[in-house]
Amino acid sequence: MVLFTRGDDLRKMSIEDYIKDSEHSLQNMINQCGNRYHVFNNTNPEDQTQVTALLEKIDCMVAVNGGSCYTNEMFQNTEKALQEEQQRILNEKKEEIEREKEELRAKHEAELEKLKKIVEKERQNVENEKKIQEEEFQKKEAQIKETNEDYFNWDTYSFIFL
């Protein structure tokens, strides 16, 4: 709804004639607003009938629109554009979250592989150390055995029997 003030400046011309004689841009704007307009006369500010008439027009317009202030195509297009923008932003956020999740998963997977390699290397080191210790133990055992055999070799010792 278009609200005109200073209706008293029109003098004897009606608002309808004023609109008819005005530029096309004003006529188009009024047309886009469903040809709804209201005029306030500023000469008598105490006159509340103008306000009451405006409120009645607004109530009637809302009732005709099914309880909504807006039903025109422009509002619907704006609403649709807003919803599409919200959906686009939501999709971008979802993609960003998925990308971050994938990066995190790849990072954790790489870290896990790194840890597995470290554990495997440590296991091999322990195995090698165990093998070296076993070989050393076997060498010492062989040396002890050889020493014992030499020490207790009966052929090299002579015994005196009485």
128-144, pLDDT tens digit by residue?
Answer: 999 999 999 999 988 88
Has residue 154 got a pLDDT over 90? Answer: no
Q: Where are the alpha helices (DSSP H) in 22-72?
A: 24-32, 49-64
Question: Which pLDDT band holds residue 158 (cuts at 50, 70, 90)?
Answer: low
Q: What CA–CA distance (Å, rounded) separates 33 from 75?
A: 11
| CA 131 to chain CA centroid, nearest Å | 56
Q: What CA–CA distance (Å, rounded) separates 119 from 71?
A: 69
Exposure string (b/e) for 64-102, b if CB count within 10 Å is 16 or more? eeeeeeeeeeeeeeeeeeeeeeeeeeeeeeeeeeeeeee
Q: What CA–CA distance (Å, rounded) separates 41 from 24?
A: 24
pLDDT at position 146:
81
**More confident call, 103 vs 154:** 103
pLDDT at position 155:
54
pLDDT at position 125:
96
pTM greater than 0.75 = no
- On whether the CB atoms of residues 40 and 5 are closer than 8 A, the answer is yes
Matching residue, tokens 């009966």? 154
Task: Kindly state the DSSP code that residue 9 receives in the 8-state scheme.
Answer: G
**More confident call, 37 vs 64:** 37
Matching residue, tokens 């959906």? 87
Q: Please state, rounded to an integer, the average pLDDT across all residues of the chain.
A: 86
Q: Where are the alpha helices (DSSP H) in the chain?
A: 15-21, 24-32, 49-64, 73-151
Has residue 122 got a pLDDT over 90? Answer: yes
- The whole-number average pLDDT for the span 138-151 is 82
